[in-house]
Amino acid sequence: MQFTKREMNPSLLLTQLASVLGLALCFAVLGPFGTYTDLSVPVRYAYWIGLVLVGYLNILLAAHAVTAVRSGLRHRWVLTTVTLVSSVPTTLAVAWVESLTRAHPLPLSVFPSLFGTVALVQLVMFLFLTRLQPSLSALLLRRVPADTVATLPETPAPAANASPLAPFFRRLPAHLGQDLLALGAEDHYLRVVTASGSDLILMRLSDALDELGNAAGMQVHRSWWVAHGAGEALRRDGGRTVVVLRNGGEVPVSRTYLAAVRDKLALSAAAS
């Protein structure tokens, strides 16, 4: 995915900071993990506010790192990776603060259980920040300039037969553009693949196909749909068949749809 044309979104940052502070205050009031009885009120509030902010910062850094290294991770791996990666430095911060508040350093034997506790809190914060949608979009704190949203300059045209007026295109994040290549169902989410990258939206595949219409593309698998003009070739990959997309990506083709996909690609080759 390309993020170079997007700028920092201060309002999103302020909203997330307010949410994080609210979460920190909840922890401070409840005093979980023994902090209610072991720490005085001022120390308990400083403890939770400081560590939750550190955890939030580490989640942002982990989200950017995951995007830079591997932008196309499935949402379940995004959730796992960001949680675990952000938990490492946060655990060290918690260990340091614990050594200050308890007046003695923590033994190494408690670090595994401490890491598990920190990972649980990081997971709660991740889901809290993304509104239970494990996507990195909200954590990148980026925005598209207003003129880019209005005109979509330097963005490829929509795939052949896929009308840009179709309701579905209004659901796409601006950074994906409108050159739609494929759609894939992932649990309750929809993987949207365009020439500019991929991302998840909360939508069912069947609803997306209803909005796009039959002329936009064809279903190639129970969980996958490919836009007309987006597939370049079929190839065997072990025991399965995949259609190779224009961007080099691959989409599985089930036996039910194989003949129709083969015929469509043959017709496209003959027309070109």
Residue tagged 């693949």 (tokens)? 193
Q: Decide if 252 contacts 241 (C-beta within 8 A).
A: yes
| Number of structural domains the chain divides into | 2
Same domain membership, residue 58 and residue 26: yes
Number of neighbouring beta carbons within 10 Å of residue 242: 20
The candidate with the shortest Cα–Cα distance to 222, out of 202, 199, 252, 244, is 252
The domain that holds 205 is classified in CATH as 2.40.50.1020
Compare 245 and 148 and report the one with higher pLDDT.
245
- Co-location of 74 and 189 in the same domain: no
Q: Quick check: is 1 in a domain?
A: no
Read off the amino acid at residue 78: V
Task: Say if residue 134 is in the same domain as residue 202.
Answer: no
Of the three residues 115, 142, 169, the one that is the final residue of a domain is 142
Q: Which range, of 78-82, 175-179, 240-244, averages the lowest pLDDT?
A: 78-82
201-210 per-position pLDDT tens digit? 888 898 888 8
242-245: list long-range contacts, CB under 8 Å, 24+ apart.
Answer: 245/181, 245/182, 245/193
Residue 152 lies in a domain: no
182 neighbors 193 (Cβ within 8 angstroms): yes
> In terms of domains, do 130 and 233 share one?
no
In angstroms, the CA 181 to CA 263 distance is 18
Domain shared by 133 and 161, yes or no: no
- Contact 210/174 with Cβ under 8 angstroms? no
Domain coverage including residue 111: 7-142
Would the pTM count as exceeding 0.85? no
